[in-house]
Structure 1
Amino acid sequence: MQEEHASRGKPNKLAKETSPYLLQHAYNPVDWYSWGEEALERAKKEDKPIFLSVGYSACHWCHVMAHESFEDDEIAKIMNEHFINIKVDREERPDLDDIYQRVCQLATGTGGWPLSVFLTPDQKPFYVGTYFPKEGGHYNMPGFKTILLQLATAYKSKKQEIEAASGEFMDALAQTARDVALGAAGKASLERSILDEAAVGLLQMGDPIYGGFGQAPKFPNASNLMFLLRYYDISGMSCFKDFVAFTADKMAAGGIHDQLGGGFARYATDQKWLVPHFEKMLYDNALLAQLYSELYQITKAEKYLQITRKTLDFVIREMTHPEGGFYSAQDADSEGEEGKFYVWSKKEIASILGDQAATDIFCEHYGVTEGGNFEGKNILNVRVPVSSVGLRYGKTPEQTAQIIADASAKLFAAREKRVRPARDEKILTSWNGLMISGFAKGYGITGDQKYLQAAKDAVKFIETKIVTGDGRLLHTFKDGKSKLNAYLDDYAFYTGGLLDLFAIDSRQEYLDKAVKYTDFMLAHFWDEKEENLFFTSDDHEKLIVRTKSFYDLAIPSGNSVAASNLLRLYHYTQNNSYLDCAVKIMKASAKPAAENPFGFGQMLNTIYLYVKKPVEVTVITRNDHSSKMAEWLNQQFVPDGINAIVSTNELASLQKYAYFKGRVGDGETAFVCRNFTCSLPIKSQQELERQLTPS
């Protein structure tokens, strides 16, 4: 990225950073700083306002604003003269992004990236927005140049007004910090009625025509869909499962799903899932791999197995560091055009395939036309089922599927020769935790060792490269450097990944690490007053407010995942403090989750686990890890399961944990415990199935 801009002149201070997003701006004429003491002290010393610009490397409109304004000499001159300019990668500093996104929501009713905030030297906001064009006029948007000049003048001549505006923001921020703690909402009892109200409300929000929630833009919202699967489990009502399957099918058929290479884009710009915002984020693919794995467990439909495989194979192929960690994102743009890497003309497809029949079949299946469906080109999306295409061309479904598969392989090989979108090679502990869970679930349903190995390699990467000498997690790694104390999401998501890996490969080291990081989290993030978790640790850099997050949107919240981890760890360890903390977090969130389920999918999953009462399933395998019962268990949908699959030679080391005390296995043996009572040793898959089948 640096080389691209080297011709434009001298690098600014961002050239020393590792973040791909910051490096994208290293040759701007703007005198950018990264967030830190140097910039903040200069603002105070010179009494200049701060312009804070927050974005991320795969953000299309961040690129647009950069090109229009930050690469413009006239704009840069104004910025450099009147402001201290700070660039922040939201993925590196989610704490800063969270604070100032809340400000944007308060001021405008919406948020997003690029985030543009004007601050006093003591970091207090007084004006905020998102994307601003260089010149105003279109869509009634003010021009960035005008805003800069007006705010520079106001800061010098209307200090009282600036102070009043920042004071109002700070009062409102303090109130939101209290509100989001949810304690004021009233702590509800953890009862089935919470799940009933939430599930019905969520289903009513669903789009019955195209699946998903809302109109456009449309996001996968995987946590909400996984909650509806759990509600199907506890209620037995098929309409909840059917809606999830319907949504998953629509997403898989749409342009949001990379039909050739696998993986999902971040969202669709339309209601039909056709036109994606082409960036691919690690967290979406981590969560969707889990969703499709669960759909396979429920339905045993081969299509969900294949989608899971394609998604995980994409991550291994394109998003994995040679030593095992997972990269953050792929850009939407290549060669300066959004989606150019992914779209096709019909003529190009015909030329590559060189066979008219194959071209006709492929194009009919994927809706390819001369006119295209996106700026004159075609986004591949499944328009006509394989069986219907086969009938038209006199082919069996098997023959048709093979023709499409062969054509897809040729087109994928041709696409690989194109200029690729940029890749953000930051490795974030939090998102890696989600992806470890995705690979663990994928291994469970496929039995494919490469997925288990991918999860193990990611754990090894984090433990060797993103953990300090005293055992503390850091947030991010790139170019050989790890930095920034970990946030709540890092501790929660990574612990969740360790527990999901432990459930299918029960090695002591994974449970030991899960306990260690959970104990650190409770010691340094727990709020004794509100009885939940802060986003930052107690020894974090002091910012204008110490926030909390409970909302499960594109990514689950740290509090939601932490509560789930604590609940699971209680069953493995019988440490009552884990259960107490989990219950406190759930109780604070239960009433809002019932009333506004769209923002609490993962919290509802945790409440489900508590209300249903977990079933503890242990399979003791032979020392070679072969086990028919383990294979069968991994393919079942048991969302209330606290599982362990452990070989006899590893069992002794786990005896220190209450879950494993007294467990012995002679060959392949299983145990099922529910309602705090346990079965006799189980010696056959049939008996295990009988024990786990609802009566």
Structure 2
Amino acid sequence: MFNRLASATSPYLLQHADNPVDWWEWGSEAFEEARGRGVPVLLSVGYSACHWCHVMAHESFEDYQTAAYLNEHFVSVKVDREERPDVDAIYMQATTAMTGHGGWPMTVVLDHDGNPFFAGTYFPDRARGGMPAFAQVLEAVVTAWEQRPDDVRQVAEDLRDHLRGTVAATSAPIDDGVLAGAVSRLGSDFDASYAGFGGAPKFPPSMVLEQLLRHAWRTGSQAAAAMVEATCEAMARGGLYDQLGGGFARYSVDRGWVVPHFEKMLYDNALLLGVYARWGTALGLRVASETADFLVRELGTAQGAFAAALDADSEGEEGRFYVWTPAQLAEVLGQEDGDWAAALLSVTAAGTFEHGSSTLRLHHDPDDLTRWNDVRRRLMAARDLRVRPARDDKVVAAWNGLAISSLVDAGRLLGREDLVSAALRAGEVLARLHLRDDGSLLRVSRDGVAGRHRGVLEDHGCVAGAFLALAGATGELTWLDRARSVLDHALERFRADDGGFFDTASDAEVLITRPRDPSDNASPSGLSAMVHALVAAASMTGEGRYLQAAEEALGTAASLAMQAPRFAGWSLAAAEALAAGPLEVAIVGAAGAARDELERTARRAPGVTVVVAEAGDTGIPLLQARLPVDGAPAAYVCRHMVCDRPVTTPVELGALLAAR
């Protein structure tokens, strides 16, 4: 038996296609059905790698008695938050307003106009832990709907008015004082014992780390550099990082980075790949290389783009694929190597996870790297025989944009042209399947087929940034033209009167409110992603309208940056680039070791726009009239297209960048 979701393209929706619940996809048809039957809409929002989404599905949505009640008293709508971030954003705001917290699965009940009047997250099948049973919740909602319609109407109207109550942002410059203040405030939130920020659960602060990395480079701040070093070290050596296969899990459930929530998301790994590559230490470059390998190996699609996520669960248990016991190590490696690996990787008899198993942590690099590489290879081979976590193989435009940008930087910093080639392949997928003639984007594709959902602001910002990164790496005008097309569309369709941005286009589907949120969450906000792309476009083209748009948009995020810098890291990182110039480096000359060294030196300066080409006549404005010097590759350090004298050695280039 299958419901309406059988024709969906989202892997998350397809997971629910055989539920006895009569699910609908989001759309006007579902609301018309609810209005015709006189019942409310139950909206359930989640994503494929969400552990508690799976739990609630098994407990409630696969239960025939619960499904029968839902089918009789509700029109049930299932939404993949990764396909429809606009729908998710609005109703997550409502959930947070009503309950004080948010999360997935998200459960919201709506009237026939889409106004919410009840909200929550996970509900168990039986009352426990202070939470009511899902059946009890449903019955209470139905009672209120049928017997207290005036109360329901009032709650819905009040919440709708609250959601629509966002006023234009107060604009102010994010200047040196704000940037230094953000670093100071971050220092007060820093966990001096275990690194990172705040307590458990602890998320990888990738966007904040990027701002701190740029601030340390620009100002010489030891405080910023120390927070980057401690946090990057702790995450890379803890259970959050996959010590065998590379790549990072979603977050740590504890303060000390020991036990992760095991799902692996493309956006986390894309962002962290760039941070570790630009951090540039031996550990940073190793982790960047391994994480890039993970992206290509395990998230790469047949078409050349990158899948959204790997599930947390396999064989019905979270983390089963990744954890080990001492006995399992000995079985694979033999007793001697097994004992050595257990000591190295903190695998104990008591265990750090469930059933006496342990996550793998590498507190220090082993003295015998040959032995470690052999042990790692053998453990990987054994792990590959286990049942693998499921993969959500839809291609999300924004997250692929982040991956492309980081792969370009990492590839050139590591001297691995295969990673730049992977970025180019993914860029071609975005250009072919997601980019439309008017510069707008489609949010997702799958199996080489474009989806129907329109891109939101973060898609336009991240994809434009990716196209600019590819223009910088190749010197090809086509990528710059594509980026301009996307940016110009976004400026026309997403911009607000105060210089900020809405998260949906002016001609997008009309929801109960038009979402607008400058704060970073799991991935960069649409506003901060746009600012990064606008700064890069201004640097590459010299067009003042892009720089002005970036500065005006940043101004609308100033209040957030001052009050809560942990949620404005990507905007602050863009502001650091502006405070540094922004700096532009044009490198021209024949491909080879000399040019590569110049490019690596330029890319070690975080936030600098770099463009590389054989000669300066490619059509990219930053390259025009830039020539090699006496036949040797040359680098031009510029600000607003005004350049210093060309230099031909990495030492000279490094000195110029430091001086600027």
TM-score of Structure 1 vs Structure 2, range by shorter chain? over 0.9
- Indicate conservation of the 8 Å contact 2:266/2:308, yes or no: yes
Shift of 1:537: 0.8
Secondary structure at the aligned position of 1:411 is classed as helix
What letter matches 1:260 in structure 2?
Answer: L
> Which residue does 1:589 correspond to in 2?
557
What letter matches 1:347 in structure 2?
Answer: A
Residues 579 and 470 of structure 1, relative CA distance in 2, 3 Å threshold: closer
Counterpart CA distance in 2 for 1:382 and 1:83 is 47
TM score, norm. by length of structure 1: 0.92
- Indicate conservation of the 8 Å contact 1:620/1:646, yes or no: yes
Residues 570 and 470 of structure 1, relative CA distance in 2, 3 Å threshold: closer
Find the partner of 1:535 among 478, 500, 503. Answer: 503
1:253-307 residue CA offsets vs partner (Å, 9 max, x unmatched): 11111111111000010011111110000000000001101111xxxx3221110
Q: Greater shift after overlay, 562-571 or 535-544?
A: 562-571
Written as runs of structure 1 = structure 2, the 5 A alignment for 1:545-584 is: 545-584=513-552
> Which residue does 1:118 correspond to in 2?
109
Matched, 1:672 2:640: no
What letter matches 1:62 in structure 2?
Answer: C
> Which residue does 2:178 correspond to in 1?
194
> Which residue does 2:612 correspond to in 1?
645
Find the partner of 1:509 among 453, 470, 478. Answer: 478
Find the partner of 2:626 among 650, 663, 667. Answer: 663
- Indicate conservation of the 8 Å contact 2:586/2:636, yes or no: yes
Matched, 1:305 2:305: no
- Indicate conservation of the 8 Å contact 1:194/1:591, yes or no: no
Q: Greater shift after overlay, 465-474 or 332-341?
A: 465-474
Counterpart CA distance in 1 for 2:225 and 2:332 is 40
> Which residue does 1:381 correspond to in 2?
360
Matched, 1:209 2:172: no
Counterpart CA distance in 2 for 1:532 and 1:471 is 20
Matched, 1:168 2:158: yes
Counterpart CA distance in 1 for 2:276 and 2:93 is 33
- Indicate conservation of the 8 Å contact 1:227/1:602, yes or no: yes
Counterpart CA distance in 1 for 2:522 and 2:639 is 33
Counterpart CA distance in 2 for 1:113 and 1:96 is 13
Counterpart CA distance in 2 for 1:270 and 1:654 is 52
1:221-272 residue CA offsets vs partner (Å, 9 max, x unmatched): 1011111112212321222112211111111111111111111000010011
Q: Give structure 1 stretches of 5+ with no counterpart.
A: 1-9, 388-396
> Which residue does 1:346 correspond to in 2?
326
- Indicate conservation of the 8 Å contact 2:41/2:74, yes or no: yes
Residues 190 and 64 of structure 1, relative CA distance in 2, 3 Å threshold: closer
TM score, norm. by length of structure 2: 0.96
After the TM superposition, which parts of structure 1 deviate over 6 Å for at least 4 consecutive aligned residues? Answer: none
- Indicate conservation of the 8 Å contact 1:629/1:684, yes or no: no
Counterpart CA distance in 2 for 1:293 and 1:480 is 30
Shift of 1:640: 4.1
Counterpart CA distance in 1 for 2:10 and 2:391 is 11
> Which residue does 1:4 correspond to in 2?
none
Residues 601 and 76 of structure 1, relative CA distance in 2, 3 Å threshold: same
Secondary structure at the aligned position of 1:51 is classed as strand
Shift of 1:500: 2.3
Counterpart CA distance in 1 for 2:262 and 2:42 is 29
Identity fraction in percent: 38
Find the partner of 1:134 among 121, 125, 131. Answer: 125
Residues 492 and 265 of structure 1, relative CA distance in 2, 3 Å threshold: same
Written as runs of structure 1 = structure 2, the 5 A alignment for 1:327-342 is: 327-342=307-322
Residues 472 and 590 of structure 1, relative CA distance in 2, 3 Å threshold: closer
Find the partner of 1:611 among 575, 579, 583. Answer: 579
Matched, 1:73 2:73: no
Matched, 1:21 2:1: no
> Which residue does 1:5 correspond to in 2?
none
Counterpart CA distance in 1 for 2:129 and 2:116 is 25
What letter matches 1:637 in structure 2?
Answer: R
What letter matches 2:486 in structure 1?
Answer: Y
Q: Greater shift after overlay, 597-606 or 503-512?
A: 503-512
Written as runs of structure 1 = structure 2, the 5 A alignment for 1:120-519 is: 120-136=111-127, 138-175=128-165, 177-178=166-167, 181=168, 183=169, 186-296=170-280, 301-354=281-334, 356-382=335-361, 385-386=364-365, 397=367, 400-468=368-436, 472-482=440-450, 483-519=452-488
Matched, 1:57 2:48: yes
What letter matches 1:210 in structure 2?
Answer: Y
1:527-546 residue CA offsets vs partner (Å, 9 max, x unmatched): 12x22111111111111000
1:524-581 residue CA offsets vs partner (Å, 9 max, x unmatched): 11112x2211111111111100011211132111101211211221222222221221
- Indicate conservation of the 8 Å contact 2:574/2:607, yes or no: no
- Indicate conservation of the 8 Å contact 1:103/1:125, yes or no: yes
Residues 532 and 471 of structure 1, relative CA distance in 2, 3 Å threshold: closer
Counterpart CA distance in 2 for 1:517 and 1:469 is 10
Residues 160 and 384 of structure 1, relative CA distance in 2, 3 Å threshold: closer
Residues 101 and 639 of structure 1, relative CA distance in 2, 3 Å threshold: same
- Indicate conservation of the 8 Å contact 1:21/1:89, yes or no: yes
Find the partner of 1:38 among 29, 52, 55. Answer: 29
Residues 310 and 525 of structure 1, relative CA distance in 2, 3 Å threshold: same
1:606-632 residue CA offsets vs partner (Å, 9 max, x unmatched): 11122221222111021xx22524434
What letter matches 2:225 in structure 1?
Answer: K
Counterpart CA distance in 2 for 1:141 and 1:323 is 44
- Indicate conservation of the 8 Å contact 1:503/1:645, yes or no: yes
What letter matches 1:451 in structure 2?
Answer: L
Aligned length: 656
What letter matches 2:47 in structure 1?
Answer: Y
Shift of 1:471: 5.0
Counterpart CA distance in 2 for 1:238 and 1:359 is 41
What letter matches 1:605 in structure 2?
Answer: A
Q: Give structure 2 stretches of 5+ with no counterpart.
A: none
Q: Greater shift after overlay, 463-472 or 508-517?
A: 463-472
Shift of 1:432: 0.3
- Indicate conservation of the 8 Å contact 1:447/1:631, yes or no: no
- The CA RMSD measured in Å over matched residues stands at 1.6
Secondary structure at the aligned position of 2:491 is classed as helix
> Which residue does 2:91 correspond to in 1?
100
